[in-house]
Amino acid sequence: MRLVFVYGTLKRGCGNHRYLEGQAFVGTARTAPGFALFDVGGYPGMVRAPGGASVSGEVWSVDEDCLARLDELEGTDEGLYRRETVPLEGPPGESEAQAYVYLKSTEGLVALGDSWRQ
């Protein structure tokens, strides 16, 4: 099982949450400071941003099959996102998780602050 931090369409109540069906919700969390969210066309992209904010989201414990489906959804093979370890502030007992970091240019995109709502 792996911990995955989600901050967009995979969150509970959002359009792609079905990809987490059968997985275990761990709790709500924030990344440590150093990230930014952008609207990349109906969904958010989180990037590393020195001096940036803490991004809010959820942590899920997922199995390897689910992780493979998430990698496909997030376009890791196409270079849209990369799954990498990010530091967390909560839930209690969890200090890091895997998250999908956006790899394309954010020039001209709308900054979303520290959270995204569908």
Please write the tens of the pLDDT for every residue from 49-108: 999 999 999 999 999 999 999 999 999 999 999 999 999 986 666 799 999 999 999 999
Structural domain includes residue 39: yes
pLDDT at 17: 97
In the block, tokens 């899920």 appear at 60
pLDDT at 117: 84
DSSP state at residue 7 = -
Written as one string, the DSSP assignment of 25-79 is EEEEEEEPSSEEEEE-SSSEEEEE-TT-BPPEEEEEEE-HHHHHHHHHHTTTTTT
Structural domain includes residue 60: yes
pLDDT at 92: 65
Q: Is the pLDDT reported for residue 10 higher than 70?
A: yes
pLDDT at 118: 72
Closest to 104 in 3D by CA, of 45, 36, 63: 45
| pLDDT tens column, 19-51 | 999 999 999 999 999 999 999 998 999 999 999
Structural domain includes residue 20: yes
Give how far Cα 106 sits from Cα of 66, 73, 78, Å.
28, 20, 17
The number of helices, as runs of H, and strands, as runs of E, in the chain is 1, 8
Q: Could you give the number of structural domains in the chain? A: 1
Structural domain includes residue 118: no
Q: Looking at residue 95, which CATH number applies to its domain?
A: 3.10.490.10
Report the alpha-carbon distance of residue 26 to residue 4 in Å, rounded. Answer: 9
pLDDT at 93: 67
The catalytic site residues sit at: 74
Structural domain includes residue 95: yes
Q: Is the pLDDT reported for residue 16 higher than 70?
A: yes
Domain of 29 in residue numbering reads as 2-112
pLDDT at 36: 96
Helix, coil or strand: residue 84: strand
